Structure 1
Amino acid sequence: MRSIARIPAVVVAGALALTTLTACGGGASASGKDDGKVKIMVGGLDKVIYMPAMLTQRLGYFKAEGLDVTLLTEPAGVQATTSLVSGDVQGVVGFYDHTLDLQTKGKQIESVVQLAQAPGEVEVVSNDAAGDIASAKDFKGKKLGVTGLGSSTDFLTKYLAVNNGLKTSDFTPVAVGAGQTFISALKQGAIHGGMTTDPTVAQIIDKGIGKVLYDMRTPEGSKAALGGLYPSSSLYLNTDWVNGHKETVQKLANAFVKTLKWMSTHSPQEIAAKMPADYAQGGADLYAQSIKSTLPMFTTDGVMPADGPQTVLNVLKAFNPNLQHATVDLNKTYTTEFVKKAS
């Protein structure tokens, strides 16, 4: 560790309404001191893999730390990252793997709270295509759904194909988002399968329109599909911003670690009850089940798994030409400085 955009219209409107509360650059007042105001873009607020973001707010932990946090949502993690790089937000709750990809492009981003040790992703196939797709070896010629091109679902789908003897050009990735847009694409045959998360997975199985091909919601599933623990959901920020706003970053880490510990001691039903009611589109019971299926992916302390960064690098190098010929300093892609103080 170190020593030292397409935003939905409703979110844009909300962000504009909060302009007076969240000055450009955020986290610092005119006097240069931290003011505790932070905008965080989440790669899909209603996705269970990013549940700690909204849950932290609902539990009141941001407020308890003296923070004024605005949560925004963007269904594709790659677009959330774009918002960070452009300076529209100060932080992102998204996949850690983007920090490696961005380092090769001259951007220094780091995970300060590692929320998850497994991807939480599931590769599903439609019932119509299930007879033709028994493993990633059968992806050739198929249309596979991802949240967005260049997203972590895109990365992982490419890895599964390459790791099973195919080229990334052997299949067609299709950006279909998540939730109802993903389900609709699967039902209508616009895709043969795809990578998504809960609660979308739970709804697909419940509706009987698809089957699970690869399940990476647990550490065991991650190791089987990817060769090791794959740190995924995280709070990441620009390193320069972290170094300039350590007080605010520590408070963010404190809040998120409290949430992770709370999650580890409460039932899926209790967790579901704290979340917005409209997140349970398939019903309360199905939503609680989707949380139960995904809970094993989360850390309890926000600390990066020791071998996780190397697994992520191995996965990305398998198909990403930018990383294949680049030297990545993994120590600069995350820090445990703040979560260890929080613990």
Structure 2
Amino acid sequence: MGLRKLAIAGVAAALALAAGCAGGGSGSGGGEVRLGIGGQPLLVFMPTTLADRLGYYREEGLNVRLEDLGSGAKALQALQGGSVDVVSGYYDHTIQMQAKNRPTTAFVGMLRYPSFVFAVSPKASKPINSFADLKGAKVGVTSPGSSTDFFLKNMLVRHGLAATDAAPQAIGGDASAVAAMENGQVDAAVMLDPAYSTLVKRIGGQNVKVLSDTRTLDGVQRDLGVTSYPASALYSGSSWLTDNPETARKLARAIKRALDFIHSHSGAEVAAKMPPEYSAGDAAIYAQAIEAAKSAFSPDGRISPEGAEAVYGVLRQFTPEIANAKIDVSKTFTNDYVPAN
């Protein structure tokens, strides 16, 4: 190859490399955003998938790749490991990360009530009529270190037990959770919809004893003593938000649009937009679960400071690492990226 051709090839290679660097990131330049979800079929994370199914990310000019990571703990691990840019998970993980000196910030809220149902298996190994009876019991959670695990520990402590008095068992959050409860693999479980609604239909509501239900305002007030308890949200490392403000703003806008769609359409209409396999073969139950969950979804995508403080107050009761750390709750969330209306 002559000198002229070598020079042309070198310029072309340099231009290609520059173009690759410009488009390969997840900032406002239009690169791919890797979004990890802590259990994609679960209703608590539904706005994340719904925004994709309705084309909202694309309309915002984003190329979003959704990755189902099965649990909030695994999604958080993926963020820490750098395999995802943003997590659709529970807000409480941002407080956990600040205690570890790893700044993480939630930038759009999806749930204002945690929507956990603490249910007893009809095949429990011993009678369980109250939280006091959980001492020594096996309790299903999506995975150890997840928000369902945090909730288990909180409820144990709130009812006079030690956070370690029950043994958490990883059972996932969808069909595997239903099977674990049906088969007596666990004595009780912290469940989420649509798994809980599926369990009720399969074995009958009269056969499912509920110790706690935080899907409604009444339940949150009774079981957590607050009126707002931020739950599922999009969060990322604080440095990612600083480097990618426009991408975060577009993600927040897409999620807000998905929340608006949920509140302005029937459960059946919302269900029709979701992947059919998420209904686990029962479209009617899935639609009913969505309809019942509407009040738990945020009306505006914002995280209330009072709610954030309530989450911190709960976590520090049973997590020494958080209790002993200097936590600035105001740095664990921001509403700066959420559209005003």
Find the counterpart in structure 1 of residue 199 from structure 2. Answer: 204
Matches within 5 A, 1:258-277: 258-277=257-276
Find the counterpart in structure 1 of residue 248 from structure 2. Answer: 249
TM-score with structure 1 setting the length: 0.89
Single out whichever of 136-145 and 183-192 deviates more from structure 2.
183-192
Residue 142 in 1 paired to residue 132 in 2? no
**Amino acid paired to 2:245:** K
Find the counterpart in structure 1 of residue 215 from structure 2. Answer: 217
Secondary structure of 1:302's partner?
coil
Secondary structure of 2:280's partner?
coil
Deviation at 1:328, TM superposition (A): 0.7
For the 8 Å contact 2:123–2:182, the answer to whether it is kept is no
Single out whichever of 172-181 and 327-336 deviates more from structure 2.
172-181
For the 8 Å contact 2:108–2:335, the answer to whether it is kept is yes
For the residues of structure 1 that align with 2:97 and 2:23, how far apart are their CA atoms?
22
Deviation at 1:129, TM superposition (A): 3.4
Q: Which residue of 49, 55, 59 maps to 2:50? A: 55
For the residues of structure 2 that align with 1:35 and 1:128, how far apart are their CA atoms?
52
Deviation at 1:342, TM superposition (A): 4.8
Residue 115 in 1 paired to residue 114 in 2? no
Q: Which residue of 38, 46, 63 maps to 1:43? A: 38
Find the counterpart in structure 1 of residue 180 from structure 2. Answer: 185
Deviation at 1:37, TM superposition (A): 2.1
TM-score with structure 2 setting the length: 0.89
Deviations 1:136-174 (A, max 9, x none): 122111110001111100000000001000012211111
Moved over 4 A (4+): 21-25
For the residues of structure 2 that align with 1:330 and 1:281, how far apart are their CA atoms?
38
Find the counterpart in structure 2 of residue 8 from structure 1. Answer: none
Residue 167 in 1 paired to residue 165 in 2? no
For the residues of structure 2 that align with 1:220 and 1:74, how far apart are their CA atoms?
31
Q: Which residue of 92, 96, 99 maps to 2:91? A: 96
Deviations 1:270-301 (A, max 9, x none): 10010011111141100011112222111111
Secondary structure of 1:107's partner?
coil
Residue 152 in 1 paired to residue 152 in 2? no
For the residues of structure 1 that align with 2:218 and 2:233, how far apart are their CA atoms?
19
Deviation at 1:23, TM superposition (A): 9.8
For the 8 Å contact 1:143–1:172, the answer to whether it is kept is yes
Aligned length: 318
For the residues of structure 1 that align with 2:32 and 2:325, how far apart are their CA atoms?
36
For the residues of structure 2 that align with 1:290 and 1:225, how far apart are their CA atoms?
21
Quick one: structure 1 residues 23 and 321, their matched pair in 2 at CA, closer, same or farther if it must change by over 3 Å? farther
**Amino acid paired to 1:266:** H
Residue 126 in 1 paired to residue 125 in 2? no
Answer 1 or 2: which has greater helix percent: 2
For the residues of structure 2 that align with 1:330 and 1:34, how far apart are their CA atoms?
31
Deviation at 1:188, TM superposition (A): 2.2
For the residues of structure 1 that align with 2:113 and 2:22, how far apart are their CA atoms?
35
Asked which structure has the greater CA Rg, the reply is: 2
Deviation at 1:128, TM superposition (A): 3.3
Quick one: structure 1 residues 192 and 22, their matched pair in 2 at CA, closer, same or farther if it must change by over 3 Å? farther
Secondary structure of 1:134's partner?
coil
For the 8 Å contact 2:23–2:30, the answer to whether it is kept is no
For the 8 Å contact 2:123–2:183, the answer to whether it is kept is no
CA RMSD between the two structures? 1.9
Deviation at 1:36, TM superposition (A): 4.4
Deviation at 1:130, TM superposition (A): 9.8
For the residues of structure 2 that align with 1:191 and 1:277, how far apart are their CA atoms?
28
**Amino acid paired to 1:79:** K
For the residues of structure 2 that align with 1:170 and 1:130, how far apart are their CA atoms?
16
**Amino acid paired to 1:254:** R
